[in-house]
Structure formats: structure tokens, C-alpha cells
Structure 1
Amino acid sequence: MPSHIVAPDGSLVPTRFRARTEASESAEIERLKARIREMDENLKMLLDENNQVERMRSEYAELNPDDVAVIAEERDELREELANFEAAHREISRENAELREQVKRVEAERDEWKIKYAALLDASKSAVVPEDSEVPAAVDSEPETQPESASTPKQSTVSLPGAREFSWTTTKEWDEDPEILEAMKKEALELLARRDAKRRM
């Protein structure tokens, strides 16, 4: 094997360089062949798509103009329904957000009234003290003090939350009746509710 070969321009090229050149040219040829195959596949896909478009055009051209108008009308109706649905969805989302805020406020008020009722209940059990509980000692010259009867009026006071007081007049007979006490508690809560409602207005 000769050590050199004559290049097209007449120069001498070492045989090892020529081998490298041939290998490089072979790789380039294979790359070009792969590129050609890829382009052929793309061209085939484009032809298939073009045939499909032409087929759709033919089918559309065969449609009755009335059918085309009906299809267009149905499309417009669907678009309108979609727009209405989206608007309704936004409105429902807004209402849901408002309802969630209302629920939070109601729950907060409920918890507040639970605390007030518990305080009122405790006060009715332990903090109800007659204002005239302290009776001065009897004077020898005065007649003996008569024992308190069941019908003797008595002023009672309960301390409520917020440094407020609720007073009422009862008798011993009433104090021993649980139904009367429960009715008085209910009335006190209603009075507090109306007072707080007026303050918030």
C-alpha cells in the first residue's frame, strides 16, 4: 500500500489522512441518507393531511346551506350556554364565599352567647344575693321582727358579662320555683340580645 496518494489538486496526501477522510465522508453520507428518509416521512404526513383536508372540503361542499346554518346556530347556542354557565359559576362562588363569612359570624355570636348564658347560669346559682340581706339588730323597745313570709317581695341582682347587672323583684316562693327562675333567665337573655342588637345598629 503506498504511503501517499495524489489528491485532485495534484498534492501528495498521506494514506492515513485519506482513510480518515473516507470515514468522515461515509458518516456524512449516512447522516444525509437519514435526513432524506426523515424528509420523506414528513412529506408523506403532509400529503395525508392535505388529502384529509381536501376530503373534508368536499364533504362540507356537499352540505346543504340550511344544514350549515343550523350547525352554526347550534355552535352559537353552545357558546352562549357556556358563557352563562361560567357567569353562574362565578356568582355561585361569590355567594358561597359570603355564606362562609356569615357562618363564621354566626358561630362567633353563638360562642359569645354560650359564654354569656353560662355566666348568667352561674350567677343565678351563686351570685343572687338579696340587697336587704343585712337586717339591723332589733331594738328592745321595738316589737320583735316577724319572719319573712313566702309572699314578701325581695329585690335580687345578678352580675352579667361586661360589668352589667340585671335586677328583679321576687318572692321566696318564686325563688324556689325552677320554672320561674328559668323564665327569668330567658327574659334576661332576650333583653341582652335586644340591647346588643341596638348597639350594633
Structure 2
Amino acid sequence: MESTMSVEVERKFVCDADIQKQLEEIGAVCIGQKQFQDKYFDTPDFLLTLRDVWLRCRQGCWELKCTTVTKAEDRVGEPQKAELCSRYQEITNLSQIQLKVREFMKEEFTTQRCSFTFGGEGDESGVRVDLDQADFGYCVGEIEVLVPKGEDIQSALRKIEKTAQRLGLSGDQRVQGKMDVYLQRYCPEHYAKLLSASIL
């Protein structure tokens, strides 16, 4: 059993050349830069991803990301802000992952990540910003707040929105993640099935 469970609430954004400077100007501090390789797995008939369940191995550590929200739940509270963010439970306990998954099909790419966080007790406390450059030419940023499972996520959505505003992110359309773009470019059949199942 996992000792603690939390829900990852995050909003993605498209990176431009000035994003690191902008983060520093609004008080973010770089807490690390690293490169990692993600290997994604699914069954031959996409049983996992068609249920919005994502199994990956990152630098030898297994992770299973499961969506935690339904379309109806997205309409509660502040629906416009909620639709820009995704919510996943991340399972890292290998025995729990093995219970859910039997056969795999691999997808793989490498990501260079630079991470920022904010200090103090202000609106951005607890906010983390990751800038990811994938080796297939896609750069995407993530504004993320971890919320203990069962707690209200509205404060996380407000913090994400405040940080997005300070970074000048005014778009109201959800930005594609690395895996979305990878599948669209290199596995169009899989991507089309995910679209038709309303996963992407």
C-alpha cells in the first residue's frame, strides 16, 4: 500500500525562448536541471491509454498515472480553469502497478527538464514549474501543484492560474503534452483511437 496518496494537478503551456528569464523575474528559483528517458507501455490493443491510464518507466522507476476526474466533475467549481488542467493519481508502488498491467507495448523518447519553484508563503508557494524539451522537437512547460488526496483542489487551480497570468499565459486552450504530440506524429493510428475515445 502507498503510505501517502496525492493528486497531481497541472496546467501545460508552450515554452518560448524567454520563459526562464520570465520565471526568474517573477521570483522563481531554479531547483534543478536533469535529463531523463521515458519508456511508455500499453497492451497491443491500447487497453490502458484508451482508459486514460499511462504506464511508464522513467530512469528505471515505474509510474502509473490514472485520471482522477470525470467530465461531470470538471464542470463543478470553476469549469473554465479546471478544463485547462489535468488531474492524475500517480502510483509508484510496483506491486500495485503489476496488479493492473500484464502485457506491454513500448514507446520511448528522451526529455531534458529544467525545474523551478517559488519560496515564501505567497500565491505561488507550493507551485512548481517544469520546462521539458523532448528529443523529437517539442518543448512544453507544466505549472504543477500537489494536493493531498481528498482535499479541495480549488486553491491549486487558483495558484496555477495566478502563476500562468504572471508568466503572461493568456491562452484558454489546453496545450498538448509530450506524449500527445509524440503519438500524433509517430503513432497516428493510436492517436486517432485516443481521440475517438475522448481521452485526448
TM-score by length of 1: 0.19
Larger Rg: 1
Structure with the bigger percentage of strand: 2
TM-score by length of 2: 0.19
Higher RCO, Cα 8 Å, sep 6+: 2
